[in-house]
Amino acid sequence: MTILADRRGEIFPAFTLPGMDRIPVTLEGYRARANLVLIFAGDELGRSPLARLLEELVARTGTLEAELTQVVVVAASRPAEDFPRGQGPLLLVLDEAARVHRQVGATDSDGKPAPAVFVTDRFREIFAAYLPGHGPALPSAQEIIEWLVFINLQCPECSPPEWPW
């Protein structure tokens, strides 16, 4: 996977999907309140290297909170019971029909849901997009953090919004 410059500057589409408790989660609820890291897991939620990336992000919870960031993990199927629920900044939502995966390009060459990562600002403007079929690796947690720091430096006079949780 590689960063796709042609997605930079686009507004990430809003969506509403059920959380693990079946309560709807909408991206619009984070507007002007939190930067977003959107991780499309496809059906690979518990597999490496995606599992490793999620572990790295949980380990960097303090940094993500300092950068006013919500991580939304979009799975195309229900995760195994050992998925780290309620840990750090990870919010898991279900895209069981893979509609949102297809809408944003998080699919493989056969059209099946595949891992992808988007980093956006508080208004869902895409700063980085890592999509399937454009290289072998997901970004590291460090790369994601660097994008978030860069995003926040773009608006130094922005007062931090009240943290959503």
- DSSP letter at 50 equals H
Q: What is the pLDDT of residue 5?
A: 47
Contacts of 118 (CB under 8 A, 6+ apart): 7, 12, 36, 37, 38, 40, 104, 126, 128, 129, 130
Ordered mean pLDDT values, 10 residues apiece, the chain (165 residues): 63 93 91 94 79 91 93 85 64 92 90 92 94 74 95 71 49
Q: What's the pTM?
A: 0.87
Q: What is the pLDDT of residue 165?
A: 45
Q: What is the pLDDT of residue 84?
A: 58
* 71: Cα within 13 Å, side-chain hemisphere: 30
Helices (H), 67-123: 99-104
Residue 158, both tokens: 């922005």
Handedness of CA 23, 26, 29, 33 (dihedral sign): positive
Q: What is the pLDDT of residue 124?
A: 95
**Which class is domain 5-153?**
alpha beta
